[in-house]
Amino acid sequence: MHGLPAAAAHAAAHIARRVDRVQLVAVRRDGVDREDDALRAAGRTHNARAQLVRRERGSAAHIRILHQLREADEREAESDRSEVLGAGIEK
């Protein structure tokens, strides 16, 4: 597994972890125990993204998708950090 296939596999695994975490954070934020629903939703989102990556593998669109996902991931991480800092100040 080298090059773009390896990058796609790595990106798909990373997306799955991020989507699961983001979905579960949303559940905790609501204060409602909907973990099963969140995990199912995360799985569907991950599957749709993984299918898109597989379909576009090796193309310019595939590379663009990976860049967009990385940028979205960076924005989410920054947002998470801001929320954690904000929560610490409020307490």
User: pTM (2 decimals)?
Assistant: 0.32
pLDDT, tens only, 18-74: 655 554 444 444 444 455 555 555 556 666 666 666 665 666 666 677 778 888 888
State residue 85's pLDDT score.
72
The answer to whether the CB of 33 falls within 8 A of the CB of 27 is yes
| Other Cβ atoms closer than 10 A to 41 | 16
Distance CA 19, CA 27 (A): 12
